[in-house]
Structure 1
Amino acid sequence: WQPQWTPGAKRLYANSSIGLFGALAVQPSGMSYEEAMTRRVLQPLKLAHTWITVPQSEQKNYAWGYREGKPVHVSPGQLDAEAYGVKSSVIDMARWVQANMDASHVQEKTLQQGIELAQSRYWRIGDMYQGLGWEMLNWPLKADSIINGSDSKVALAALPAVEVNPPAPAVKASWVHKTGSTGGFGSYVAFVPEKNLGIVMLANKSYPNPARVEAAWRILEKLQ
């Protein structure tokens, strides 16, 4: 294998990169990813219904996704816990969004710093800024810019990237968002810290990203 581009020249989305980042982030702790997430993120934020491994006592509440009409759960895979392994409830995810909109209320200072660093701007790809997982666009913005930008033809394309050096700190006037999909499930999270507005959308079927973004936009637009 040989790289197609000079390092730092292009941004190409890949679940494996998120998985690798998660694995490397917890490596100095000596803990597994699941243990580190539970002790350092989920418990401090009181996300009592969020797990990597759903406990037996909660299996009855573990939603089934649907793929080609058949019920499915998340399939195991390489770096699955780190890349797409979190199972949660809409209430816990709403708490997660609240913590990300205003980390000053997070009592654990290391976690507070981590939340803020994740929304720092490290790379610019067109109108979008890449954080640590999060994608940000300057607010206010037009709906078309995020709806069209979420289409797979754009979101999964290799696009020119410009490094932000030094990284810019989190900007309150931002549309911060991330889609998520596995076989049988589709999710979307978006929030605008300046407006203290956010939304979590969880579905037990995968559907196109632009439809998720447009629905979220219309809902948040009505709440302003």
Structure 2
Amino acid sequence: MKKLMGAFVAVLACGAAVAEESDIDALAARHFGPLMETHDIPGIALGVTHGGDSQFFTIGLAARDDGVAVTPDTLFELGSISKLFTATQAALMEVRGELDLADPVSAYIEPLKESAFGALSLADLATHHSGGLPLQVPDRVSDTDALISWLKDWVPPMKGARSYSNISIGLLGHIESRIADRSYAELMEQGLFAEMGLRDTFVDVPDAVMPRYAYGVDRDTGEAIRVGPGVLDDEAYGVKSSARDLVRLLDLYLGHADAGDDLTQALARTREGFGTTEAYVQNLIWEEYPWPVDADRMVRGNSYDFILEPQPMERIVPARAPGQDVILNKTGATFGFGAYVVLLPGQDLGVVYLANRNIPNEARVRAMHGFVTDLLEGR
């Protein structure tokens, strides 16, 4: 364990030099180092932005068998953190008058007129407010057209409930692509990612960058793995990025990176409160808790019950303005990778955790909560 904790390296934001061990280094080792041993994770990259200053902490390997060390520029699969980009794109298109989040889905997908799904709003798609959609696209559905056909006859089993689903956010991304008349990958890579200044964030990783794309560990077999194709995979869980780029994303939220007026408005829109659940306020994909908050409450909100079972959600109309004394969080995973990102606007703090193994949400949440708490309390 001492070797693992001592192996954490802090790299200055410019990437030019290795920093002296600091309190933040020690906290990273204390809270995230043990995950390596307990869960047999090949590598972790941690990025922190606090008060406008950024640091990165890396440990382990980008692939278990190749001996290449993780760096702040190693690409990891983000899993469902990808949904933040889909929601942000929708908010940006709303700012530019290209769509309205209050519009029904049927206004953009004509075959869904007169259907229960078609009556949902675009904001419902971005807040999982579907009334009982399953997490995954049904096995018998082979493409987007078949999914739309399936949705014509779908009936919400728990009307008004929040149901975490790749289908709802995936269809929102599909609508964005139709409006823009571009593939989702083109819309993100040539549009949103470029506008955000994210130079190492991709849907389709270019050949020249593939050597920096980590391999995950299959949670069942232990073999090296990367995400495979699926219906609406790009829109729901298909983005790959680095700790350095995600820290820039957090800096955009915190006002420490340049963003145009449209993007600034869109980022603020994603932080509005649209509904209240037992554990948190649902923003556009972001999940919002008051800060400070008990770790058990965040564990509950990130539990598999909240992911797999419909949860009652009370709508907030009109949507509530972005909060300051809050912690926003989003987990993400594929079969081989696990990620977690938090944002505390009132504390001017953001943290991202990327790893090439999918470990239980509770382990990620408790490690992050402990790290953030100790950092802010100066322990």
What interval of TM-score do these two structures reach, taking the shorter chain for normalisation? over 0.9
SS of the counterpart of 2:274?
A: strand
- Tell me which of 199, 213, 222 is aligned to 1:69: 222
Whole-angstrom CA distance in 1 between matches of 2:172 and 2:370: 33
2:234 counterpart residue number: 81
Given the two structures, how large is their TM-score scaled by the length of structure 1?
0.93
Percent identical residues: 33
Mapping 1:6-21, distance limit 5 Å: 6=159, 9-21=160-172
Cα distance in 2 between the residues matched to 1:199 and 1:100: 12
> 1-side partners of 2:345 and 2:354: how far apart?
21
Per the alignment, residue 35 of structure 1 pairs with 186
Q: Residue 78 of structure 1 aligns to which amino acid in structure 2?
A: V
Q: Which has a greater percent of strand?
A: 1
1:194 aligned onto 2:346: yes
Q: How many residues align?
A: 221
How many Å apart are 1:155 and its aligned residue? Answer: 3.5
How far apart, in 1, do the equivalents of 2:301 and 2:278 lie?
10
User: 1:21, CA displacement in angstroms?
Assistant: 1.6
1:111 Cα shift? 1.6
Counterpart residue number, 2:320: 168
Secondary structure (helix, strand or coil) at the match of 1:43 reads: helix
1:57 aligned counterpart, secondary structure: helix
- 2:199 aligned with 1:48: yes
What is residue 145 of structure 1 aligned with on the other side? 297
Q: How far off its partner does 1:219 sit? A: 1.0
* Structure 2 Cα separation of the partners of residues 15 and 97 of structure 1: 23
CA distance in 1, matches of 2:254, 2:297: 22
Q: What SS does the aligned partner of 1:44 have? A: helix
- Which amino acid letter does the alignment assign opposite residue 328 of structure 2? V
User: Which amino acid counterpart does residue 146 of structure 1 have in structure 2?
Assistant: M
Runs of 4+ with deviation above 6 angstroms: none
- For residues 352 and 323 of structure 2, the distance between their equivalents in structure 1, rounded to whole angstroms, comes to 20
2:153 is the alignment partner of 1:23? no
Distance 2:298 2:259 in 1: 33
Give the superposition deviation at 1:98.
Answer: 1.6
Q: Whose radius of gyration is greater, 1 or 2?
A: 2
Alignment check: 8 A CA contact 1:198 1:220 kept: no
The root-mean-square deviation of aligned C-alpha atoms, in Å, is: 1.5
Deviation at 1:51, TM superposition (A): 0.7
Name stretches of at least 5 consecutive residues in structure 2 with no aligned partner: 1-153
Cα deviation, 1:96-134, whole Å, max 9, x if unaligned, reads 11212338x543222211111111111111241111111
Aligned AA (2:184): Y
Residue number in structure 1 paired with 2:67: none
Deviation at 1:172, TM superposition (A): 1.5
The answer as to whether partners of 2:164 and 2:306 remain within 8 angstroms in 1 is no
Given the alignment of the two structures, is residue 96 of structure 1 paired with residue 249 of structure 2, yes or no?
yes
Question: 1:43-66 CA distances to partner (integer Å, 9 max, x unpaired)?
Answer: 122211111111001111110011
Q: How is 1:117-128 mapped onto 2 (pairs within 5 angstroms)?
A: 117-128=269-280
